[in-house]
Structure 1
Amino acid sequence: MRSADPHSILSVGATLGEGPVWVARDAALWFVDIKQHRIHRYDPALGVGRSWAAPGQVGWIVPTDDGLFAVGLQSGVHRFDPGTDPATGSFTLLHAPEAHLPGNRQNDACVAPDGAIWFGSMDDAEQAESGHFYRLHKGRCIETGLPAVSITNGPALSPDGRILYHTDTVGKRIWRTDLAPDGTVGNTTLFTRIEADAGYPDGPTVDAEGCLWTGLFGGWAVRRYDPAGRLMREIRLPVANVTKIAFGGPDLRTAYVTTARKGLDVTTLTEQPLAGDLFAFDPGVAGLPGPIATI
């Protein structure tokens, strides 16, 4: 039975858990640990997890139309074949959009209804405003022209794919940008600003009603905003660093939450023994079916 209260379902001790995505074809949740260079898979039917080592910091993972995955490594976008055993996973470079920025890494992504991958980069030192958003579709990877920030998060898309939500984590702002049918960005306006004592907006996700959810890093919570940017709901977690949620399960009505141990000292970790775990709760609303990327 689903619980409305977030509870730990998989203990992985993630330094920086991120990028949860429900993959319907194998009825499993996939996510990453950026700093430990790990890709994780959680099977809710069995209640067990598996993991693969990545050859570098890995910011995101999405399923692709060839039955495999695309992942965002610090060195670029790679095709990932998990194989039949965690020891046999393989990575093949597809695009290196920031080979000229070795201090950057990739951080978050989503797939649009047309199969395009939207993903962001960031300064690994979290200082320079060198993070950009990109669009990868059918072999073509372009920089979108959205303003550069030090830490990008998202993007996330509205149910009709016409609004792109993207986050400036350090600036504590979530923006919304109009999208043309071909993916061209249009007018950008402020969606919401996170108040001073509420943590930093992390990964955004949109539900089937068009409302946006965001994790709050250092804020002990996930929040739900309506399409006009008004706060509707806040759900507290027993850990401070909440990164992102994904809707999963056969009816897409389970919210899975990644969290992080990054920045927590020994004393704080003693007070937050579940930090870095994967959590789940009943959000009371369904999510959107996850599109498959066409790379």
Structure 2
Amino acid sequence: MSAPELLWDARCELGEGPVWDAARRCVWFVDIKGRRLHRYGVEDGSKASWATPDQTGFALPADDGSLVCGVRGGLHRFDPGTGDFSALIEVERDRPQNRINDGFVAPDGSLWFGTMDDSEAEKSGALYRWANGVLTLMDDGYGVTNGPALSPDGATLYHHDTLDKTIYAFGHAGGRISGKRVFARTEEGYCDGPSVDSAGTLHVGLFGGWGVAKFASDGRYLGKIAFPVSAVTKAAFGGDDLKTLYCTTAWLHQSAEARAAQPLAGGLYSVRVDTPGLPQNLIRL
């Protein structure tokens, strides 16, 4: 395993949602608070950015070449060719204090994502599944949602309540979940965005924990990948061999002194690992 390498000093206040786009050989990610969508080209280090309509928790590739973005208030389609956003479906009109946070695409092309109270005060967040144009509430009562992620066999779905430092596991089959249980809790920092490798090891960004935590499929803590910045928000597998972790970071909630001590917080990083991840699925539109 290599040491973390800074790819882009993007200075995101709240970088999130890195995702490998194999077709374009790039990494997409967002700055939620900065209301920006970023694209990093792995071939030449090219960088491009777009303003988003509102705070955006993720931008995930779809089967028609577009991205589906979790914008506060609803899902939007983003056309990389024109840079245009268009609304797809409203989300939580009845919870105006909420915004959309992390998201994941299942092998069947369904989109799973969570919402959260933007002030991080109330447990008004929920977990949703969007498939065939239908939005379904799957679980409720979260402070800050992160994930979900699926085990390699698809039988276990992981989802976090970051405020509680708790990773939950559900049984998963046919787009349904059951048997919610506590899978693990983080001691160093708050459990942020998760990804799973091909061996079933869960990789969890640690907000305030200076790295990426690793958990075995039975919940055992396996240690962490240390980072030079305190808030790692998500690690996602990518590259042609799926052995590169692309990691977003943040400086949200940091004092002026902490920011001065971590001038590269908010950047996009990469780490080479030994075990490949799982392929990025495309949203079926």
Tell me which interval the TM-score lies in, with the shorter structure as reference length.
over 0.9
Q: How high is the TM-score relative to the length of structure 1? A: 0.95
Correspondence 1:168 to 2:161: yes
Is 1:43 matched with 2:41? Answer: yes
Q: Distance in 2 between matches of 1:51 and 1:162?
A: 36
Matches of 1:57 and 1:259 in 2, distance apart?
16
Q: What amino acid maps onto 1:244 in structure 2?
A: K
Partner of 1:283: 273
* 1:245-284 correspondence runs (5 A): 245-284=235-274
* Contact 2:168 2:181 (C-alpha < 8 Å) held by counterparts: yes
Structure 1 residue 99 displacement after superposition: 1.2
1:189-228 equivalences under 5 Å are 189-195=181-187, 198-228=188-218
Picking from 72, 75, 82, the partner of 1:74 is 72
**Larger strand share, 1 or 2:** 2
1:4-15 paired onto structure 2 within 5 Å: 4-15=2-13
* Structure 1 residue 114 corresponds to structure 2 residue 104: no
Q: Is the 8 A contact 2:124 2:140 kept in 1?
A: no
In structure 2, give the amino acid aligned to 1:94: L
User: What letter is aligned with 1:294?
Assistant: R
Q: Quote the Cα distance in structure 2 between the aligned partners of 1:244 and 1:209.
A: 19
Query: Take 2:152 and 2:22, find their aligned partners in 1: how far apart are those partners?
Result: 18
Distance across 1 between alignment mates of 2:274 and 2:72: 36
Aligned-partner Cα distance in 2 for 1:74–1:103: 10
| Cα shift readout 1:157-201 (whole Å, capped 9, x = no counterpart) | 1112221100010111000000122x1111111110112xx1100
CA distance in 2, matches of 1:13, 1:273: 8
Q: Distance between the aligned counterparts of 1:60 and 1:274, measured in 2?
A: 22
C-alpha distance in 1 between matches for 2:62 and 2:124: 28
Give the Å deviation of 1:48. 2.2
Q: Select 1:60's aligned residue among 55, 58, 62.
A: 58
Of the three residues 21, 27, 30, the one matched with 2:28 is: 30
User: Is the 1:10–1:48 contact (alpha carbons within 8 Å) kept by the matching residues of 2?
Assistant: no
2:121 to 119, 127, 133: 127
Once the two structures are superposed, what CA deviation does each residue of 1:11-49 show, in whole Å capped at 9, x if it has no partner? 110000000100111011101000000011111110121
The residue aligned with 1:98 is: 92
Runs of 4+ in 1 over 2 A off after TM superposition: none
Secondary structure of the corresponding residue to residue 76 of structure 2 = strand
Aligned to 1:235: 225
* Structure 2: tracts of 5 or more residues without a match: none
The 1-side partners of 2:137 and 2:129 are apart by: 7
CA distance in 2, matches of 1:75, 1:149: 17
1:97: how far off? 2.2
The residue matched to 2:103 in structure 1 has which SS?
strand
Identity %: 46
**Total equivalences in the alignment:** 285
Task: Give the letter aligned to residue 54 of structure 2.
Answer: G
2:150–2:157: 8 Å Cα contact kept in structure 1? yes
Does the residue aligned with 1:148 lie in a helix, a strand or coil?
strand
Does the 8 Å contact 1:42/1:50 carry over to 2? yes
Match of 1:20 in 2: 18
